[in-house]
Amino acid sequence: MAVDSDGRLSARELEILLLAAHGMSDADMSRRLSISPRTVAAHMRSIREKLCAKNRTHLVVTALRAGILALRTDRLDRLDETFRLTGRSGVRAQPVGVG
pLDDT value at position 90? Answer: 57
Q: Once rounded to an integer, what is the mean pLDDT over residues 54-79?
A: 82
Q: Does the pLDDT of residue 92 top 70, yes or no?
A: no
- Other CB atoms closer than 10 Å to residue 69's CB: what's the count? 24
Sign of torsion over alpha carbons 71, 77, 80, 85: negative
pLDDT value at position 28? Answer: 95
Q: Does the pLDDT of residue 94 top 50, yes or no?
A: no
- Give the whole-angstrom CA distance, residue 36 versus residue 76: 32
Find the distance separating the first CA and the last CA of the chain, reported in whole Å: 35
pLDDT value at position 1? Answer: 34
| Whole-structure pTM value | 0.73
Q: Does the pLDDT of residue 98 top 60, yes or no?
A: no
pLDDT value at position 81? Answer: 64
Phi, psi angles (nearest 5°) of residue 38:
-65, -35
Q: Once rounded to an integer, what is the mean pLDDT over residues 73-98?
A: 58
Residue 29 contacts residue 11 (beta carbons within 8 Å): no
pLDDT, one tens digit per residue, over 7-66 is 789 999 999 999 999 999 999 999 999 999 999 999 999 999 999 999 999 999 999 999
